[in-house]
Chain A
């Protein structure tokens, strides 16, 4: 029979992928006023009359605008009402949560601008508003979705207060910290915030992107989005190196770090390099009691999307083995253009035990989900 079908996928979810935990889902606002009900009057007036002060040079667009049409969104994820992808919970349920019977989705809001706001008190107010907004628009209507506590790390007291306020609220699974900061995350100025995360049982998720105002690479500003995209990996490498070398994991043994969307094939090579130099340069970092790779393996988790696609698909198994399948968690990145489909992301069959770990068990244990 012949019929026009524009809204339906041909294929259905394979049983083996049902019930996974998605460690990177992006909720968006329906409009610029979504946060207003959650702002105190003082900061609502500030937002309306002064507005945000980000650390990037361009207003109302990103430093590296994505492909058009769509601004880097999955082409079929625009709601019919024209609102932004990720803003429509029923569509998110249809295309992701219900399609795959997702057990839990970990939200990573890239809206509100709380983390990069230069007026740190306004940043803290926007963080609080964004946290309430996640609950009201996503987590309360669909409890499979778990919120991430937003903070502005440039105001320590404000960030710690927000983390403590959300402690014990099981609707929040972790704390989001922007990976491109004013200084590497391992610096002492950030320790009270990291301590608050660990003390209150929140893993810290570092979701790539954003800008701190520094050039996005160590060698200056890239020209293309194609160049910018792999530079996210550099910021992840900086964070891992900083957290290890500053001794953060000695100081805060309960700290758990999740690297979201930064790739992972680079992690073993970074560890090899750190270990190699540690044997020679120990005297400079005497606070490190163990090899850097041991801290990494104990404290750092990675998410899969955008999945590495080695030329020889079976090489993926070596990469997973080097990192340890118990530290790798599947993510889709819905509704972004480079999102992964759980059925096809891995181009090589995973051993059964690994599959369970990567798609479900690791996230379940890390976030203490039922």
Chain B
């Protein structure tokens, strides 16, 4: 396991995303409020580039005709077959226990901590002043 600096915090606004490559794997980094989450850019269904999908809410209807929008901006809809995944966990809406997109551990760390290393950040210049999004894998 190693830590990889993949972006500055300012680079990804709330509701935004960035798709990065870490150790040969494409990972979508999503920001919900001040939290960051990472999902593999590959749908477990048929391999589509999942992280290019639309970010949506979860729409629930306890009974026909009654609708609630919940979890605004926290679901990711695959660009191919529209399977939806929880950005926080990678779990699918249709079958959360057995169909999951791999989630990665993502954290925010101060540049002052990071400069002590070890970490890899070939494409992100790390300075003491800024905060960074770090993926561990």
A and B part of one assembly: yes
The CA-CA distance from A69 to B45 in the complex, in Å, is 21
Q: List the B side residues contacting A339 at CB < 8 Å.
A: 80
Interface string of B18-50 (1 = CB under 8 A from A): 111110011000000000000001100111110
Tally chain A residues at the interface, Cβ within 8 Å: 23
The CA-CA distance from A1 to B119 in the complex, in Å, is 11
Q: List the B side residues contacting A67 at CB < 8 Å.
A: 82
Asked whether A1 lies within 8 Å of B81 as measured between CB atoms, the reply is no
Interface residues on B, range: 20 to 34
Interface string of A330-346 (1 = CB under 8 A from B): 00000001111101110
Q: List the A side residues contacting B18 at CB < 8 Å.
A: 4
Q: List the A side residues contacting B49 at CB < 8 Å.
A: 9-10, 76
- B22, B41, B78, B80 — which one has the most chain A CB atoms within 10 A of its CB? B80
Q: Given contacts A2-B124, A69-B54, A75-B54, is CB(A340)–CB(B46) below 8 Å?
A: yes
Interface string of B66-98 (1 = CB under 8 A from A): 000000000000111110000000000000000
Asked whether B25 lies within 8 Å of A10 as measured between CB atoms, the reply is yes
Selected from B7, B22, B25, B79, the residue in CB contact (under 8 A) with A74 is B79
A5 at interface (Cβ–Cβ under 8 A)?
yes
The CA-CA distance from A165 to B54 in the complex, in Å, is 46
B-side residues, CB < 8 A to A, are 4-7, 18-22, 25-26, 41-42, 45-49, 52-54, 78-82, 121-124
Q: List the A side residues contacting B54 at CB < 8 Å.
A: 69, 75
Interface string of A2-25 (1 = CB under 8 A from B): 111110111100000000000000
Q: Given contacts A10-B25, A75-B53, A340-B46, is CB(A3)–CB(B123) below 8 Å?
A: yes
Asked whether B52 lies within 8 Å of A4 as measured between CB atoms, the reply is no
Nearest to B78 among chain A residues (CB) is A75
- A3, A4, A10, A339 — which one has the most chain B CB atoms within 10 A of its CB? A10
Nearest to A342 among chain B residues (CB) is B46
- A69, A75, A340 — which one has the most chain B CB atoms within 10 A of its CB? A75
